[in-house]
Structure 1
Amino acid sequence: MQYRLLIAFGAGLISAVVFASATTGPLLMRMVLFLLTPLPLFLAGLGLGPLAAIGAGIAGATLVVIAGTPIGGLVFAASQAVPVIILTYLASLNREGPDGQVEWYPVGRLVFIAALLAGGFAALTLLLLGADAEALRTALREMLQAFVDNELPKMQDAPTFGPADIDELTSLALALLPAASAISSMSSLLFNLWLAGRITLASGRLPRPWPDIPAMVYPPVTPLLLAGATAAGFLGGLPGMFAAGFAGPLFFAYVLLGLAVVHYITRGRPWRVFALWALYGGLFVMNTVASLAIALLGLAEAIWPMRKPTPPPGGKSPPD
């Protein structure tokens, strides 16, 4: 028991150090560090259990408060510790099915919960930046001005921005911030959950079998939540921004579902590799249009199921 607490404490300290390091240094390095911040917490939670994730989260948040500010500790807890604790707890849930086999918490519901957690963090981010839309605009403009003054001069051939340009960028950032921050948070959570799962699986410490990710499904209420959040996103002020913060990750969840559908229906096909290369190439080149098309494919799956539980041609079992 003691060694588990020590490992959890060490994981929390590592996560806190990475989190603090993500505030300094080159922009690209900061983005990479912030992306990998929850990885030690996930490793503790998946490898040692949810209690280890709780211990690691408390240790990390405490270190951030001691070394930084209470606000920093709050952000660490809300963006890293709490989501990791919830997701690792859910990932460890299981029950005995009617046929006597163990049923584990579905991976689709983990993605759904990650989207809701990301939306909640986006709402908290907006509240920390400003109590109303005008205060939020002022805070964003100050952040952009600081970036233009301090970061742009470090880049080669960097453009120059005047006050009018910064005002336009502020309006654009105000429109994109809720959804973009939520999608970024959700991407980080899911990537680190997957990476920690692969690491603990390779070490033999993953308590559950590896799930069939391409076969994942979402709760029936998911499309209704996406439609409601998208419609509410057209409201003015903070309510519309809060709604957009939930619409973004829910939309991203359906992009992931669309990708899962393609991965599933191409199993065992001789042209699978070419189809997947074309899919991800199109997603990289035509990001917005391709994302919308893939998300629509994921939404269509709920109405016209395309993933049939039939064996692929030749009777061979599908690849992992």
Structure 2
Amino acid sequence: MTQFLGIGIGAGLVSALLFGVLLKGTLLSIVLYLLAPLPILIVGLGWSHKAALVAAITGAVALAFLQPFLGLGFLAYLALPAWWLAYLALLGRPNADGTMEWYPTGRLLAWTAGTAFVAVTVIAAPNYSELQIRLRATVLEAVKLQSQDRIVPQTPSKESQSQLPSASDTVAEKLPKDQSSNVESPSELQVKLVESFVAIAPAFATHALTTLLTLYLWVSARIVRVSGRLPRPWPDIPSTKMPRTILGLLAAGIILASASGSIGALGIALLGALAAAFQLQGLAAFHDRSRFLPARPALLFGLYFVLLATNGVALFALTLFGLADTAFNRRRPKEDAGRT
């Protein structure tokens, strides 16, 4: 018990320090902030979920002394999700033949999406209207600046300076005649673009957090495995298959997203988290289905190249692939998956 407390307190302070440096606003502070959940996950996987819980509480209390809301944000957004995933990852039950059946990676992936959805909802829900206003203003300003950069004329030559309009001329007078009648159109387009982005912003938030939590869990497990403290054998990740019950959540998300206001935002956030989970499921299915194929290295290289070259556009196809893999479950079952 004393060891768990000591390890947990130390990990919590380190995690709080990594999270707190975000206040500096530098590039290095952002990188360190992204590493904040790792200490909690490492002690949770290498020692006990109790140590991870101690770390989460310690980090939150330490940050609360600086800013109370900062401590609550750390606890709800990163610390508790990290503890919960570490707890689930080490769940297991003995079988009659003496082997150990560990918590399936597919269910763990589904819980990762659910945890990300809950974390974002808890953080954003109390001040969602204010967040919308701030986000709308920020994005609109960015769009306006980008539009201005596109229409700024090049520096004129000395011969043409005398023909330039005065500083009091309107924007329409500065534009060619065929464009002057469309001065108001970009403003309308900007508003529509901003409103669309604000509407789907919850999906971006949950999608990013689901992906990050999955990456954190994988990296932490790798680190603990190298140290020899990981009690669970390394799972067959390509055989990951989420339960079909996740499709019920997908249907619920679609129904909620069709509503307006905060209810619709909840549905959009849920769809974003599930989209990330289905993408990871599709990635695992591609790895699994390409086993033992002579062209597997070329196929995997092509897959990742397309994902990077299209700036994420191909993720939509990967989402559909993961959705179909979950719904139809055509892959051959692995009888010994999750056992040791």
TM-score, normalization by structure 1: 0.84
2:337 maps to none
Q: Which amino acid aligns with 1:251?
A: A
The range that moved more, 301-310 or 221-230, is 301-310
1:126 maps to 124
How many angstroms apart in 1 are the aligned matches of 2:19 and 2:60? 10
Secondary structure at the counterpart of residue 114 of structure 2: helix
Deviation at 1:230, TM superposition (A): 2.3
Deviation at 1:302, TM superposition (A): 3.2
* Conservation of the 8 A alpha-carbon contact between 2:77 and 2:120: no
Q: Once the two structures are superposed, what CA deviation does each residue of 1:193-245 show, in whole Å capped at 9, x if it has no partner?
A: 11010000010000111111111121221012112202321211110001111
Deviation at 1:287, TM superposition (A): 4.4
Q: Which runs of 4+ in 1 moved over 3 A?
A: 28-31, 141-148, 163-170, 302-306
* Conservation of the 8 A alpha-carbon contact between 2:243 and 2:326: no
Change (3 A) 1:144 1:304: closer
2:78 maps to 80
Change (3 A) 1:286 1:234: farther
Q: Which amino acid aligns with 1:89?
A: Y
Deviation at 1:98, TM superposition (A): 4.0
How many angstroms apart in 1 are the aligned matches of 2:274 and 2:330? 21
Change (3 A) 1:287 1:29: same
Deviation at 1:95, TM superposition (A): 0.5
Deviation at 1:84, TM superposition (A): 1.3
Q: Does 1:265 align with 2:289?
A: yes
Q: Once the two structures are superposed, what CA deviation does each residue of 1:106-152 show, in whole Å capped at 9, x if it has no partner?
A: 1111111110111112222332433x4xx44323245558989xxx9
Q: Once the two structures are superposed, what CA deviation does each residue of 1:148-170 show, in whole Å capped at 9, x if it has no partner?
A: 9xxx9xxxxx989xx95985664
RMSD (Å), alpha carbons: 3.1
* Conservation of the 8 A alpha-carbon contact between 1:144 and 1:166: no
Q: Does 1:295 align with 2:319?
A: yes
Secondary structure at the counterpart of residue 264 of structure 1: helix
* Conservation of the 8 A alpha-carbon contact between 1:122 and 1:242: no
How many angstroms apart in 1 are the aligned matches of 2:118 and 2:265? 12
1:313 maps to none
Gaps in structure 1 of 5+ consecutive residues: 153-157, 311-320
How many angstroms apart in 2 are the aligned matches of 1:50 and 1:7? 11
Deviation at 1:248, TM superposition (A): 0.6
* Conservation of the 8 A alpha-carbon contact between 1:12 and 1:40: yes
How many angstroms apart in 2 are the aligned matches of 1:297 and 1:252? 12
1:155 maps to none
Q: Does 1:49 align with 2:48?
A: yes
Secondary structure at the counterpart of residue 23 of structure 1: helix
* Conservation of the 8 A alpha-carbon contact between 2:81 and 2:119: no
Q: Which amino acid aligns with 1:24?
A: K
Secondary structure at the counterpart of residue 103 of structure 1: strand
1:107 maps to 105
Change (3 A) 1:147 1:297: closer
1:116 maps to 114
How many angstroms apart in 1 are the aligned matches of 2:123 and 2:137? 16
Secondary structure at the counterpart of residue 230 of structure 2: coil
How many angstroms apart in 1 are the aligned matches of 2:302 and 2:5? 46
How many angstroms apart in 2 are the aligned matches of 1:224 and 1:30? 39
How many angstroms apart in 2 are the aligned matches of 1:294 and 1:237? 29
1:252 maps to 276
* Conservation of the 8 A alpha-carbon contact between 2:91 and 2:103: yes
1:197 maps to 221
* Conservation of the 8 A alpha-carbon contact between 2:63 and 2:71: yes
Q: Which has the larger radius of gyration?
A: 2
1:10 maps to 10
Change (3 A) 1:303 1:121: closer
2:178 maps to none
2:256 maps to 232
Secondary structure at the counterpart of residue 101 of structure 2: strand
TM-score, normalization by structure 2: 0.79
How many angstroms apart in 1 are the aligned matches of 2:333 and 2:140? 55
1:140 maps to 135
How many angstroms apart in 2 are the aligned matches of 1:147 and 1:21? 26
* Conservation of the 8 A alpha-carbon contact between 1:36 and 1:188: no
Q: Give identity over the alignment, percent.
A: 37
Secondary structure at the counterpart of residue 182 of structure 1: helix
Task: Tell me the number of residue pairs that the alignment of Structure 1 and Structure 2 aligns.
Answer: 301
* Conservation of the 8 A alpha-carbon contact between 2:140 and 2:194: no
Q: Does 1:37 align with 2:33?
A: no
Q: Does 1:243 align with 2:267?
A: yes
1:94 maps to 92
How many angstroms apart in 1 are the aligned matches of 2:138 and 2:242? 37
